[in-house]
Amino acid sequence: MSDTDLDKLPGGFKGMSEDIGSDQTTFKGVNWGKAMMWIFLLSDTFVFSCFLIAYMKVRASVVEPWPYPSEVFALEMMGVPVPLLLIAIMTFVLITSSGTMALAVKYGYEKNRKMCGWFVLLTAIGGLTFVGMQAFEWSKLIFHDGVRPWANPFGAEQFGAFFFMITGFHGTHVSIGVIFLFIFARKVFRGDFDTGKRGYFTTMKSDYVAIEILGLYWHFVDLVWVFIFAFFYLW
Amino acid sequence: MAEAKKEETTTHKIGIYLWIWGLLFVLSFFSYMVDWYNFQGLLRWSLILFFMFLKAGLIMAFFMHLFWERYALVNVLLWPMTAIACFVGLMVAEGKYTVFSRLFYFFVGGA
Amino acid sequence: MSDELNINKKRNNQIKTKSSATSGRGETDIDYVRPAELPEQDLYHGHSFITKWIFCQDAKVIGVQYTLTAVFTGVVGLILSWMMRMQLGFPELFPFLTAETYYQMVTMHGMIMVVYLLTALFLGGFGNYLIPLMVGARDMVFPYVNMISFWMFFVAVVVLMASFFVPGGPTGSGWTLYPPQAILEGTPGSGYGILLMLISLSLFVIGFTMGGLNYVITILQARTRGMSLMRMPLTIWGIFTATVLALLAFPALLVSSIMMTLDKVLETSFFMPTIIKAGEALSYDGGSPILFQHLFWFFGHPEVYIVALPAFGIVSDLISVHSRKNIFGYRMMVWAIVGIGALSFFVWAHHMYVSGMSPWFGFFFATTTLIIAVPTALKVYNWILTLWRGNIRINTVMLFCLGFIVTFVNGGITGIFLGNVAVDVPLSDTYFVIAHFHMVMGIAPLMVIFGAIYHWFPLVTGRLLDEKLGKWHFWITFLGAYSIYFPMHYLGFIGVPRRYFEMYDSPYMTSAVGMNEFISVAAFIVGAAQFIFFYNLVKSLRLGKPAGKNPWKANSLEWLTPDVPPTHGNWGEKLPVVHRWAYDYGVPGAKEDYITQTTPPSEVKDAEVEKT
């Protein structure tokens, strides 16, 4: 369905009931891959929700004191402990990469190969920086503060367990995203999306919509970080 | 209306993206300030949640283009969250009950 | 002129004004269907044996692969149940059946049957085979991902089976894998067994997610022209809703598997409370075992409906076809399926009334549980009203459908007992519960699976299954299953606890022994009867009566392919165009007693068809 047809359809709830009542497609104008990514992200939302719910339930029911994250994650700056400094920078980096990704998607829409490629590459570098900083944070906690998944010097032992599990799971998502971002940056620069080159594994034609799909994933990773930031570091 | 939207989605977008980008930085800064000024109690919780949902909403609506998607997709994505909300609510109650029974039986000494 | 024509005209005009197309269509073009929105699907055609039959991207082959793998695990589960019944009916007859092996068998039987047989068979098997055919697509939307999905499932099954051969054997913690005992020493298989189980489940979830995304997107985004959601056969509605449930419920299983793996390997204390063993405190401290139960049942209860909803959908279609009558209350059926699916996320803790959770939860979960009984009962009424005054063909398929209705009602009613907290407390952990869930999610879905295989075997292979053997298979299975599970209700009422390997010197030793022997003998016979079915499958594959096209005179699209059995791409040159729902059977005024979904209105002007 082309864009001009889409504009003729009614919007809002009226449009919704018409879309659902219609034949062929329920999400009008939504590419198969994009629809799949959305539903996958919905499923992934449930994964992260279950992690965070488990964290909430356990934190609410331990009788030992829960470590105060503001102090645990403080960083010494010129002799003064600054609370959550590293986390603030990590948040900054991730939001920046999200912004560059949004621009990459925009240029992908416009089939602007050069700009799209550079922004995807920039996003990948931002993601890599984030993973690097997370590695630094983990090593500081493990080697400097002595936090382990099974014990920590600050209080309830689940603190370390949940921290490593949830940030680790998020970090895995980021790392997978970074790998794909590099692959797709190469594909964009090579012009695969302009020529419609067939994928090596799937044998399906490449299209700029892939950048939008990757963008959805990347923004989702950022979205999850918003929740982790609020619940793990600030709460 | 549709025409205006259309224009927005293809040509005027870069402005919107930069706006949202900036807004996200500002909101993140605010939520960082919640910790910096060491607000406690209900004020801390409500501010954290407020900024969190605002940021999440902005990312979903504009970066993930949900604002421009048709309602069919938006509704399919948002309604399942009620199950999550129910799960969260019940686990809050369960957590309170668990800590109550632990304190009651292990520390107070039980009935 | 009949009403049908006028209504079609009116609708046509509406469509015209909507699409504001002005190509030279006449006012009376009642066969108009909106043009295609999407270009033809690009398909990969395999060339070698490996790409055609092993790493195949054709959903139909993947469906058969899923089915065969699932049936294989099902046979393993069946053999395990034989051994368990051997021990319960005739204790100490076999020296190798110790308490440890018994618990391992219970665990593996439960997990295999629920996850690796029923879920995989309904969604992976029937889903893959039927979805593209029934919605009029050439294949699943992501054939490559679909192929990976099957091989993930295959690896998950291999890992699960491997746990039989590792030191310590498979896990024996019961199929719910409750911590702390699941990973503590003393429980059989608490070393490698439980780890392999958790890894296998995680692989299953990942593999299923890949498949599930395919099913959902194919149904939502790749239907053929004219196929609106409200014209889809109920089979597709059942599979669709179940897949959505699975995509949203399996995350909870994945999360609990990961957390328990960490508890086991890294000795974290997510689920592990402070434990003192032989006077010494273990390294665990302060975890929440009840959290695992919540996560597990947040997955576990939707899982019940993941199995039940496809069964509901399939049985609706089978009943309609074989009683030559449209399904009673199609829209109501659709909403009931969707409603049950949505509600199933709000009832999970009715499995946990005696677990020590917050006592206030009983109110909430008993209420939601009883509410979910409403749409379920509604479906049962609709099945019965579909049969009412229908032109019923008593063939094997119909027998299995009738068997399903009876067992399902039986299991559903005991479910009402167990949903009420006050009634559940004395009954929980007795054989009443065993009887309940085997009736409702063991026998009832199996009846549908058998019925569906008898129904669709001609489509897959081009040959009919043997009716005579089929009837033997049905009667032995049905009567035998009742002989197994009906007495168990009584055992539950007198208080015989489940999960006991032997009754030893308890009063049950004398009062339940005869009944236990009877149940065991019935179980052996029912199990053996399944080999009649397997024999029938193998025999009919070679020697069965050729089915020809559309042997049941059904309406839905899967029977209308140009080639039978359908080839890769399903539809030959042109995709089908759908003009109506799948249930126009026995329509007054029509020449034949069925009007296929592709029959245009102009061909059946005089028939009083439903307005769909």
Query: Is the CB of residue C271 less than 8 Å from the CB of residue A66?
Result: no
Query: Is the CB of residue C491 less than 8 Å from the CB of residue C467?
Result: no
Render pLDDT for C518-541 as a digit per residue (tens, 0 to 9).
999 999 999 999 999 999 999 999
Please report, in angstroms and rounded to a whole number, the separation of the first and last CA atoms in chain B.
67
pLDDT at A84 over 60: yes
Chains with 3 or more CB pairs closer than 8 angstroms to C?
A, B
B31 and B62 co-located in one domain: yes
Q: How many domains does chain B have?
A: 2
Residues C610, B54: Cα–Cα separation, whole Å: 49
Across residues C440-449, what is the average pLDDT? 94
Across residues A137-157, what is the average pLDDT? 87
ipTM of the complex: 0.94
Choose among B63, B73, A198: nearest CA to C216. Answer: B73
pLDDT at B45 over 70: yes
Q: Which of A4, A14, A38, A43 to mutate to test the interface with C (most CBs of C within 10 A)?
A: A43
At C281 the three-state DSSP class reads: strand
How far is the alpha carbon of C305 from chain B, nearest alpha carbon, in Å? 16
B53 and B99 co-located in one domain: no
Q: How many domains does chain C have?
A: 1
Strand A80-82 versus strand C280-281 pairing type: unpaired
pLDDT score for B4: 42
Render pLDDT for C298-324 as a digit per residue (tens, 0 to 9).
999 999 999 999 999 999 999 999 999
What is C235-268 written as a DSSP string?
HHHHHHHHHHHHHHHHHHHHHHHHHHHHHHHT--
Asked if C345's CB is within 8 angstroms of B86's CB, the reply is: yes
Range of the domain at C584: 549-612
Asked if A23's CB is within 8 angstroms of C227's CB, the reply is: yes
Element (H, E) at C280: strand C280-281
Which of chain B's residues have a Cβ under 8 Å away from the Cβ of C361? Answer: 90, 93-94
Which of B25, B71, B107 lies nearest to residue A15, judging by beta carbons? B71
B60 and B85 co-located in one domain: no
Which of chain A's residues have a Cβ under 8 Å away from the Cβ of C217? Answer: 32, 35-36, 39
B7 and B49 co-located in one domain: yes
pLDDT at A116 over 90: yes
Query: Is the CB of residue B93 less than 8 Å from the CB of residue C360?
Result: yes
Neighbours of C422 (CB within 10 A): 9
B56 and B8 co-located in one domain: yes
Q: Which of C22, C37, C299 to mutate to test the interface with A (most CBs of A within 10 A)?
A: C37
At C570 the three-state DSSP class reads: coil
Render pLDDT for C347-377 as a digit per residue (tens, 0 to 9).
999 999 999 899 899 999 999 999 999 999 9
Decide if domain A31-65+82-234 falls under CATH 3.40.109.10.
Answer: no
Position C11 confidence tier, pLDDT thresholds 50, 70, 90: very low
pLDDT score for C386: 94
Nearest CA in chain B to A18: B72
Residues C480, C472: Cα–Cα separation, whole Å: 12
Look at residue C554 and tell me if it is in a domain: yes
Position B110 confidence tier, pLDDT thresholds 50, 70, 90: low
Average pLDDT across chain C, whole number:
90
pLDDT score for A202: 79
Residues C468, B55: Cα–Cα separation, whole Å: 66
pLDDT at C449 over 90: yes
B56 and B86 co-located in one domain: no
pLDDT at C505 over 90: no
How far is the alpha carbon of A114 from chain C, nearest alpha carbon, in Å? 28
Residues A177, C32: Cα–Cα separation, whole Å: 46
Position C28 confidence tier, pLDDT thresholds 50, 70, 90: low
Look at residue C296 and tell me if it is in a domain: no
Nearest CA in chain B to A223: B56
Asked if C286's CB is within 8 angstroms of A63's CB, the reply is: yes
Position B87 confidence tier, pLDDT thresholds 50, 70, 90: very high
Which of chain B's residues have a Cβ under 8 Å away from the Cβ of A226? Answer: 52, 55-56, 59
Which of residues B11 and A141 earns the better pLDDT score? A141
Asked if A36's CB is within 8 angstroms of C213's CB, the reply is: yes
Strand A80-82 versus strand A75-77 pairing type: antiparallel
Strand A75-77 versus strand C276-277 pairing type: unpaired
Look at residue C23 and tell me if it is in a domain: no
| Tokens, residue B45 | 């919780």
Query: Is the CB of residue C313 less than 8 Å from the CB of residue C236?
Result: yes
Which of chain C's residues have a Cβ under 8 Å away from the Cβ of A156? Answer: 286
Asked if B88's CB is within 8 angstroms of A95's CB, the reply is: no
Position C572 confidence tier, pLDDT thresholds 50, 70, 90: confident
Position C382 confidence tier, pLDDT thresholds 50, 70, 90: very high
How far is the alpha carbon of A226 from chain B, nearest alpha carbon, in Å? 6
Nearest CA in chain A to C296: A50
B52 and B95 co-located in one domain: no
- Residue A23, beta-bridge partner list: C228
CB within 8 Å of chain C, chain B residues 52-81: 80
Range of the domain at B92: 80-111
SS (H, E, C) chain A: CCHHHHHHCCCHHHHHHHHHHCECCCCCCCCHHHHHHHHHHHHHHHHHHHHHHHHHHHHHHCCCCCCCHHHHCCEEECCEEECCHHHHHHHHHHHHHHHHHHHHHHHHHCCCHHHHHHHHHHHHHHHHHHHHHHHHHHHHHHHHCCCECCECCCCCCHHHHHHHHHHHHHHHHHHHHHHHHHHHHHHHHHCHHHHCCECCCCCCECCCHHHHHHHHHHHHHHHHHHHHHHHHHHC
CB within 8 Å of chain A, chain C residues 28-47: 33-34, 36-38, 42, 44
pLDDT at A232 over 80: yes
Which of B87, B96, B98 lies nearest to residue C298, judging by beta carbons? B87
* All structural domains of chain A with their residue ranges: 31-65+82-234
Say if residue C331 is exposed, middle or buried (CB neighbours under 10 Å; 0-12, 13-18, 19+).
exposed
Look at residue C587 and tell me if it is in a domain: yes
Asked if A25's CB is within 8 angstroms of C223's CB, the reply is: yes
Position A1 confidence tier, pLDDT thresholds 50, 70, 90: low
Across residues A101-113, what is the average pLDDT? 89
Residue C277 DSSP one-character state = E
Render pLDDT for A182-205 as a digit per residue (tens, 0 to 9).
999 999 999 888 888 888 887 788
Which of chain C's residues have a Cβ under 8 Å away from the Cβ of A20? Answer: 229
Look at residue C62 and tell me if it is in a domain: no
Residues 6+ apart with CB under 8 A from B17: A99, A102, A103, A106, B62, B63
Position A163 confidence tier, pLDDT thresholds 50, 70, 90: very high
Render pLDDT for C104-159 as a digit per residue (tens, 0 to 9).
999 999 999 999 999 999 999 999 999 999 999 999 999 999 999 999 999 999 99
Asked if B103's CB is within 8 angstroms of A60's CB, the reply is: no
pLDDT score for B107: 81
CB within 8 Å of chain A, chain B residues 37-96: 38, 44-45, 48-49, 51-52, 55-56, 59-60, 62-65, 69-73, 75-77, 80-81, 84, 87-88, 91-92, 94-96
Which of residues C64 and B106 earns the better pLDDT score? C64
Asked if B93's CB is within 8 angstroms of C288's CB, the reply is: no
